[in-house]
Amino acid sequence: MNYKLVLIDLDDTLFDYPKAENSAFRSTFEEMGFFKENKFLKNQNSEEFYTEIKKEYEKINSQLWKDLEKGVVDKEELKIIRFEKIIKKFKLEYDSQKMSEIYLKKLGEGIFPFKSTKKLCKYLHSKYKVGIVTNGIKEVQYPRIKNSIIAKYIDKIIVSDEIGANKPDKRIFEYAMNCFGIKDKNEVIMVGDSLGADIEGGKNAGIDTCWVNLRNNVNDTGIISKYEVTKLEELFEIL
Ligand SMILES: [Mg+2]
């Protein structure tokens, strides 16, 4: 392999995204005053009620991201609808726009790299050009990376928002290669945790792929990557 460019996903590959989401979601409810005076509560305490809302939100949010991958909703809709739905379901009388704004701001502050993330990025940057390719939201992803310990090891951040194409659309990978002036697909590898977005996307673009399977998931998708690792450290052997 003569790779020159490593494209790598951010969430659940380099950063612990569930942790960031949990923290941002809770802070949003704190800022809305949910835990202080809660006029929506009946016979529950606010923690129990919060947990119930959170669970429902996770279901709604995960469905919306699937819809987004299929092109059924766009990202602007997704940002608001997920709050609209829980507000309606739990009769919260909050403003979905406001909640969404607070949430995105908090999410942008939520930086939780994995233990080996910094070491890995430093290593990759010493050997290759490194680009992050993420399906996230621009105003969330930029500050998260820029304010993190890996910022200086990343040559370019490519957020689907700006391209108008989400992984697994090959255009986002082609855009990334263009940014680095790379034409030979053999010189590029895509590394990421999502079979449907990162691996399928890399394959669509005709580049090598490495599946980062940190949670030891079973692959029943039929999407096969060139490499697979279950720990970030294993990437040192491949790259
Ligand atoms: Mg990911």
| Residue 38, domain CATH | 1.10.150.240
Report the separation in Å between the CA atom of 226 and the middle of ligand 1, taken as the mean of its atom positions: 17
Q: Is 95 in the same domain as 189?
A: no
Q: What's the pLDDT at 228?
A: 98
* Domains in the chain, number: 2
Q: What's the pLDDT at 155?
A: 98
Domain final position from 86, 109, 132: 109
Report the separation in Å between the CA atom of 9 and the middle of ligand 1, taken as the mean of its atom positions: 6
pLDDT band at 159 (very low <50, low <70, confident <90, very high): very high
Report the separation in Å between the CA atom of 215 and the middle of ligand 1, taken as the mean of its atom positions: 12
Q: What's the pLDDT at 42?
A: 66
Domain final position from 109, 144, 174: 109
Provide the b/e sequence for 160-184 (b: ≥16 CB within 10 Å): bbebebbbbbbbbbbbbbeebebee
In single-letter form, the type of residue at position 119 comes to K
Closest to 111 (Cα-Cα) out of 15, 45, 185, 200: 15
Report the separation in Å between the CA atom of 1 and the middle of ligand 1, taken as the mean of its atom positions: 24
Whether 170 shows a pLDDT value over 90: the answer reads: yes
Report the separation in Å between the CA atom of 195 and the middle of ligand 1, taken as the mean of its atom positions: 9
Report the separation in Å between the CA atom of 178 and the middle of ligand 1, taken as the mean of its atom positions: 22
Q: Is 47 in the same domain as 126?
A: no
Report the separation in Å between the CA atom of 194 and the middle of ligand 1, taken as the mean of its atom positions: 5
Which tokens sit at 26? 């809770």
Q: What's the pLDDT at 97?
A: 97
Report the separation in Å between the CA atom of 197 and the middle of ligand 1, taken as the mean of its atom positions: 8
Q: What is the domain range of residue 68?
A: 17-109
Q: What's the pLDDT at 161?
A: 86
Domain final position from 74, 109, 144: 109
Report the separation in Å between the CA atom of 13 and the middle of ligand 1, taken as the mean of its atom positions: 6
User: What are 144-155's pLDDT values in tens digits?
Assistant: 999 999 999 999
Q: Is 153 in the same domain as 223?
A: yes
Q: Is 103 in the same domain as 141?
A: no
Report the separation in Å between the CA atom of 8 and the middle of ligand 1, taken as the mean of its atom positions: 9
Q: How many residues can be counted in the chain?
A: 239
If you average pLDDT over residues 31-40, what whole number do you get? 82
Report the separation in Å between the CA atom of 101 and the middle of ligand 1, taken as the mean of its atom positions: 22
